[in-house]
Amino acid sequence: MTNPFTVSTRTARSGPIVTVGGELDVATAPRLRAGIAELSLAAGQLLVVELAGVTFCDSSGISALIAARNAAEAASAEIALVGVPSRLARTFALTGLADFFPAYPTIEAAVAAHG
């Protein structure tokens, strides 16, 4: 049995927080991309993408995360990944994306690092 995909967004003073759960793959990555595209990011904000609930992530999911980073960069905002599962962190390390995505254990740590 697979975990159903979920994506939700809330707004904090630092910027939007997107929480992702379940399998982030070719079937669900478009929903994450669409959710990110609907955000109103402003210069200087921090886009937090919380991934602790992600049970699987394929290349389509990674591509959606790169698109999120690009959207933040286009808005002169920053991005932080939070609660990255160990298997996904390993994939980031192996593919050279670990330096591409600032990652933090908690939302609070990401916001504190952002200033």
Give domain limits for the chain. Answer: 6-114
74: three-class secondary structure by DSSP: helix
Class of domain 6-114: alpha beta
Rounded Cα–Cα distance for residues 99 and 108 (Å):
20
- What pLDDT score was predicted for residue 25? 96
Does residue 76 register a pLDDT over 60?
A: yes
What confidence category does residue 39 fall into, taking pLDDT thresholds of 50, 70 and 90? very high
Number of H helices, E strands in the chain: 4, 5
Rounded Cα–Cα distance for residues 64 and 57 (Å):
10
Given the structure tokens 């330096």, which residue do they identify?
A: 99
Over range 86-100, report the average pLDDT.
93
Contact in structure between 35 and 64 (CB atoms under 8 Å): no
Q: In which element (H, E) is residue 38 found? A: none
